[in-house]
Structure 1
Amino acid sequence: MDRYSFLRELADSWVLLLLVVFFLGTIVFAFRPGSRPLHRDAAESIFRNETKPASAGEKEVE
């Protein structure tokens, strides 16, 4: 079997399976229970200094 055929069969079977498992794992990780506060914090982080601009020396409050 030449190299191209071997790599083609590998990509069509095991690598495809690995990528599907990785994709599903990423989806499960993003929607896991308890991650809502982390996602909300990341989404609202750009509005932390909405009432006044941050000064040059001011650190973010967590």
Structure 2
Amino acid sequence: METYTAMRQFADSWGLVFLFVVFVGVVLFLFRPGAKAAAERAAQIPLKED
């Protein structure tokens, strides 16, 4: 079996599952309790005076 074919089959199956799991993890991380306050603090960093 060629390397390209093997990599293509892996990407079509487990690669897609992995990317979907990462996507769901990022979405859950962003919508966790307390994320809004942390995002608001981070958004104010460029506006702080030294």
- Mapped to 1, the partners of 2:32 and 2:48 lie a distance apart of 25
Uncovered stretches (5+) of structure 2, i.e. residues with no partner: none
Instruction: Give CA-to-partner distance per residue, 1:9-47, whole Å, 9 cap, x none.
Output: 100000111011101111110111111111010001122
Q: Which has the higher helix share?
A: 2
Q: How many residues align?
A: 50
Q: Which runs of 4+ in 1 moved over 3 A?
A: none
Uncovered stretches (5+) of structure 1, i.e. residues with no partner: 55-62
Larger Rg over CA atoms:
1
1 or 2 for the larger relative contact order (CA 8 Å, sep ≥6)?
A: 2
Give the fraction of aligned pairs with identical amino acids, expressed as a percent: 38
The aligned counterpart of 1:11 is 11
1:21 to 2:21 alignment: yes
CA drift at 1:2: 2.5
Which amino acid counterpart does residue 5 of structure 1 have in structure 2? T
